[in-house]
Structure 1
Amino acid sequence: MVLSVLLAVAGAFCGVVPYFAVSRIIVLVCGRQYELAPIALWALAALLGYLGSTWFGTASTMLSHRSAFTILKNIRTELTEKLARVPMGYILDTPSGKFKTMLVDTVEKLELPLAHMIPELTANILVPIFMLAYLFVLDWRMALISLITVPIGLVCYMGMMKDYEARYNRVLDAGKNMDAAIVEYIGGIEVIKAFNQGTASYAKYSDAVKENEAAKATWFRQTNGFYIAGIAIMPSCLLGVLPLGAWLFQRGSITAPALITCMILALGLVSPLIQALRYTDSLAMVDSTVKEIAGLLEAEELHRPAQSVRLDNTNISLRDVSFGYGNQEVLHRVSFDVVPGGMTAIVGPSGSGKSTVARLIASFWEADNGAVELGGVDVRNIPLSQVMDTVAYVSQDNFLFHLTVKENIRLGRPDATDEEVFAAAKLASCHDFITALPKGYDTLVGDGGGSLSGGERQRIAIARAILKDSPVVVLDEATAFTDPENEAVIQASINRLVQGKTLIVIAHRLSTIVHADRIVVLDHGQVEALGTHEELLVSCPLYRELWNAHISAKDTGEEDAL
């Protein structure tokens, strides 16, 4: 970037040469000196100055673009790495459209100021400075009068800048909100069509579009008048240069060559300044963009050490864990031990905190108070990568990337061979349907796995967890919304997944956890009871109520099927 600026400065020097050369040619012609040699020499100087300005400017732009794209790559890399370090709650509370806007559009806005503004602004400021300095050498009076329109133009510019930041921030915010609304609208288009909700009736989307239009219209209306007046007035410096120059020439206070040179230089004095002022939007955009990027980069992270910790075992315990979303606490001093090498089920009414416990164990969040322990060590003292290697998390809505089936499974262990991927798929009961796909394991699954059924996506997610081969497996209602046929297949896949491992199950269907070694009953974010299925049916009214409701719903479903 420094070399780019130096080349831009060299280009600025070369850009002044044609003005001097043209003024010298006019002086020679006006002085009736028609010899070809000096005129050709100055013409050659003008050409070389123009070519030098073009060459240095092009080289400067190429280098600045190379530097700009490197900087943009580093920013995007740092942002994505940051997202991996922030709590999951931060990501879930932020619309995905805003992350897309920041990573793609917001960062891209820095390309213009980095690649163009820095070198070109340098040149556009240096050229008039060089010209003005030479004007003062020729005649200080002509130099001052050539600047007479600049203060008037700056007054217009100041009028344009009144409340500029607030108005421009409104434009930027409206654009970001519209992007987020568009992403949400497209993601929910199936629901919108199903309930006959067109664009006009989708209030959030239409309001965001209208606000974007209103913000830009207001910004242009309040800005363009001053801007047009400024760029119309500032170049009119000859209105002062010509009368004063003629008067000084008549009085013999200035020579004809000096007058001609002053007029030529005055013509080229203001244009670069106007070009520099056109970067006003870029300057305002840089400030808001940097603040927005800094807002994410400075977000609170999961504070974990870098060095791996020696763990004697993979036992998991919760010790007086409290946690809340924002100001609302949802877990209150939760304590229990997960059965090592066995099955621990967590049950409770909707909203009791079951999934929150699962995500705390997987280190998606950190406890506000108390501790989640892995191998007797607080997980906050264990590197996040080590926790991720130890705990496999399978939810009810596992996401599949727009990759092949094989690569989606291989995400569990990137260095796995094809044979290991096929073996994991067979254990997860998905080998048969995969081989029936048009390209088998090389079939693209579509965005979010959209080309597959819910049960097929679930089995691929289980295959991914089998390939990961972590000693602890967390199943967050993995069979909550599957049909009976798929549930049996998925349950068989899960049984193979958890052989010889510590299993934590967030149960929706209580019939799947009757053989659990320990069942934790949660209610309103607190542990209501602990025990086996038989013990809880006797000692815990809430569990008995949940069980009876499950049996009743199951019987009703079977009757409906008949």
Structure 2
Amino acid sequence: MEKKKEPSPISVVWGWAEKYHSKFYGSVVLAVLGVAGTMAAYFSIAAMIRILLENGDFSQCLPWCGLLLIGYLVKSVGSAWSTSMSHTATYYTLRDIRKKMLAKLSRVPMGTILDTPSGQYKTTIVDRVEGMEPTLAHLIPEMTANLLVPVAIAVYIFALDWRMGFASLVTTVIGMAIMSQSGKTYAVRWEGAVAVGKRMANAIIEYVGGIQVVKAFSQSAGSYKKYSGAVEENAQYYVDWMHDNQKYMSTMQTWTPSVLITVLPVGLLLWSHDSLSASDFFTIIVLSMGFAGPFLAALSFVDELAIVGANVKEINGILDSPELNRPEGKTSLSDEKICLKQVSFSYGNQDEKVLKGVNLTINPGTVTALVGPSGSGKSTIAKLIAGFWNVTEGNITLGGKDIKEIPLDQLNQEIAYVSQDNYLFDRTIRDNIRMGKLNATDAEVEAVAKAAGCDGFIRKLDKGYDTICGEGGGHLSGGEKQRISIARAMLKNAKIVILDEATASIDPENEAMIQKAISALTKGKTLIVIAHRLGTITDADNIVVVQDGHIEAQGTHEQLKENCPLYSKMWNSYLGVRDVA
């Protein structure tokens, strides 16, 4: 079977801009109009030279002066309007690409996002998409104009004298030959630049994110080897690239504009033999000097064409990521009963399963606690129930429906998920809580904050509920952030609540109060709790002990103390730590 041909990067970009094709076509028409104005100016100058050399009657030049002025105005208006129209269409296209990418990220498995450094997403969504701007905004109209001008000039020179036409093209052909040598490796070089840029971005974000640790151990940006090494690698890569490329670029930029090197000797030879009139000779000299500028400007877009391929590849890396395929229409659920049947799961390496044949039933309105050693798979079970990933084997049902058959929006409405490191946005506390229910009133926000035990500290802040949390909640303590996250989940009022070690950052003083609030506000709901403090889940309806990716035992607190050695050991360890504390 014949392999399907991959679309070219330019055709992919053009497809992304489909909604704005009419604007791009309009910009090309205006660019051509600008070229017509430019050529009118050149022809006017050529005509005036001819008049002055043949009869010296300056009055005959006046109409051509008027045409020159009109041509200049047409060129200015056409170019400006063309640029404005192409930029408008371009930035709308870039906006749509970014929206598609962010919408795509909401549909890909959480593992894909967690396994990708945040710096890489920033670089792709911000820098690589922005890198499409020269191609869309300038390539289509401006390259069109810059190529048409030298073509029109060349045609006119050939019409005057074909020998001078060839003479005027010699340096351009040499320049293009030199340029082709540089262009052979440009795409590969740019891909390498993208790779080192990613490594540098990731290292910078990691360094800034861990600045507290770096400072605590008396490190600096220079001594933090991963950061300094990535910055050094990025700089050296570009220095080496420019060093290799400069000999070609300098030679090309020297040769291409040097058109008089061939035009003057050939023209003088033909003139001396009466094969070329003086008026045609001087006209060709003037026209040929206007040939190189637009051509070099057009060549500058060759770099952009080489860059497009790498940018498109990286953007498509996100847009073509495998999705959590879910239906669109809302489905009917009989209840909130959750069943895991022979569930196995691996994050990437299929030979290393995190979960192995897990069977578990969670009845509606009950409290189920998942406990076990670190890395046992308890958080993975919770995240699979929340729909963050698809199971590798087996299936998970909610209300009798496989969660793969439940639309993501509906599943998100059914489940509220609170983890230990829930993110707060750089907005007000009120706005962060309200994200659980966007149409909630101020009174509802404050009521749920009281229930979550955070109203007291919020009101002590300078601006109360209107206090800005800072990026990631950086202006608040870990316990304060966690209580706000819990309030946000409570406001969502989902039928199923998952608390993934949600009270780990809360001091014991406030933990009892929050546990009480959670119990009251989740009454009648299905509650799944992952806790490292066993004392908080002793009243759970069912405690599930997870060990090495499978369920070791399950039952009530008293049953497990008697019948499960692992749980009994964990309980005794918890008591020992508590007593020491």
TM-score normalised to structure 1 length: 0.97
Picking from 445, 462, 466, the partner of 1:421 is: 445
What residue number does 1:432 align with? 456
Q: Does 1:408 align with 2:432?
A: yes
In structure 1, the partner of 2:3 is none
Which residue type is aligned with residue 13 of structure 1?
A
TM-superposed CA distance for 1:326, in Å, is 0.9
SS of 1:248 mapped into structure 2: helix
Per-residue deviation, 1:497: 2.8
Does the Cα contact within 8 Å between 2:51 and 2:61 map onto a contact in 1? yes
Residue aligning to 1:21? 44
Match of 2:410 in 1: 386
Task: Please give the per-residue CA displacement for 1:207-231, whole angstroms capped at 9, x wherever unaligned.
Answer: 1101110111011101111001001
Deviates more, 1:77-86 or 1:158-167: 158-167
Deviation at 1:73, TM superposition (A): 0.5
Gap change, CA 1:481 and 1:431, over 3 Å in 2: closer
CA contact (8 A) 1:465 1:497 kept: no
Q: 1:473 aligns to what SS in structure 2?
A: strand
**Count, aligned residues:** 556
Question: Counterpart of 2:326?
Answer: 304
Q: CA deviation at 1:108?
A: 1.2
How far apart are residue 412 of structure 1 and its match?
0.2
**CA distance in 1 between partners of 2:517 and 2:578 (Å):** 22
Q: Which amino acid aligns with 1:360?
A: L
2:251 to 229, 234, 254: 229
How far the C-alpha of 1:86 sits from its partner, in A, is: 0.6
**Any conservation in 2 of the 1:462–1:497 contact (CA below 8 Å)?**
no
CA distance in 2, matches of 1:433, 1:419: 17
Residues 1:210 and 2:232 aligned together: yes
Q: 1:270 aligns with which of 285, 289, 292?
A: 292
CA distance in 2, matches of 1:389, 1:107: 32
Contact 1:20 1:261 in 2 (8 A): no
* Structure 1 match to 2:378: 354
Identity of aligned residues (%): 48
- Partner residue, 2:195: 173
Structure 2 distance, partners of 1:352, 1:497, is: 29
Q: Establish whether residue 446 from structure 1 lines up as the match of residue 470 from structure 2.
A: yes
Amino acid at match of 2:379: S
Equivalent residues of 1:521, 1:528 under 8 A apart: yes
Partner Cα distance (2:264, 2:505) in 1: 84
1:463 to 470, 487, 501: 487
Q: Which amino acid aligns with 1:382?
A: I
Residue 241 of structure 1 pairs with residue 269 of structure 2:
no
Alpha carbons 2:469, 2:475 under 8 Å: kept: yes
Q: How is 1:84-103 mapped onto 2 (pairs within 5 angstroms)?
A: 84-103=106-125
Q: Which amino acid aligns with 2:373?
A: P
Q: Secondary structure at the match of 1:318?
A: strand
Q: Tell me how far 1:250 sits from its aligned partner.
A: 2.5
Q: What is the one-letter code of the residue matched to 1:16?
A: M
The question of whether the paired residues in 2 share the 8 Å contact of 1:339 and 1:517 is answered with no
Paired with 1:133 and 1:527, the residues of 2 have a C-alpha distance of: 82
**1:8 CA drift (Å):** 0.7
Check conservation: 2:482, 2:505, Cα contact below 8 A. no
CA positional deviation for 1:191: 0.6
**1:357-405: per-residue Cα shift (whole Å, max 9, x none)?**
1111111111111111110111011000100000000111111101111
The aligned counterpart of 2:546 is: 522
Which of 165, 174, 177 is the equivalent residue of 1:152? 174
Q: Which residue of 1 aligns with 2:165?
A: 143
Question: What is the CA–CA distance in structure 2 between the aligned matches of 1:507 and 1:103, rounded to whole Å?
Answer: 36
Distance across 1 between alignment mates of 2:528 and 2:229? 44
Residues in 2 aligned to 1:55 and 1:98: alpha-carbon distance in whole angstroms: 41
- In structure 2, what is the Cα distance between the partners aligned to 1:227 and 1:376? 67
Look up the match of 2:81.
59
SS state at 1:279 partner: helix
- Segments of structure 2 that go 5 or more residues without pairing to the other structure are 1-23
Return the alpha-carbon distance in structure 2 between the equivalents of residues 329 and 195 of structure 1: 37
8 Å CA contact retained: 1:178, 1:208: yes
Q: Distance in 2 between matches of 1:177 and 1:5?
A: 39
Q: Does 1:556 align with 2:580?
A: yes
Counterpart of 2:295, as a letter, is L
The 3-state SS of whatever aligns with 1:329 is coil
Residue 30 (structure 1) aligned with residue 73 (structure 2): no
What is the CA distance between 1:125 and its match in structure 2?
0.7
Return the letter of the residue paired with 2:31: A
The alignment status of 1:198 with 2:198, answered yes or no, reads no
Deviation, structure 1 residue 194: 0.6
Distance 1:137 1:174 in 2: 51
Match of 2:188, as an amino acid?
A
Unaligned runs of 5+ in 1: 558-562
Secondary structure, counterpart of 1:257 in structure 2: helix
1:484 equivalent in structure 2: 508
Structure 2 residue identity aligned to 1:258: D
What is the letter of the counterpart of residue 197 of structure 1? Q
Partner of 1:76: 98
d(CA) in 2 for partners of 1:347, 1:403 = 34
Question: Residue 456 of structure 1: CA displacement?
Answer: 1.3
2:522 maps to 1:498: yes
Q: Give, in whole Å, the separation in 1 of the partners of 2:390 and 2:219.
A: 40
2:148 corresponds to 1:131: no
CA drift at 1:432: 1.8
2:342 partner SS = strand
TM-score normalised according to structure 2 size:
0.94
Name the residue aligned to 1:560.
Answer: none
For residue 345 of structure 1, give the secondary structure of its aligned residue in structure 2.
strand
RMSD of aligned Cα (Å): 1.3
Question: SS where residue 346 of structure 2 aligns?
Answer: strand
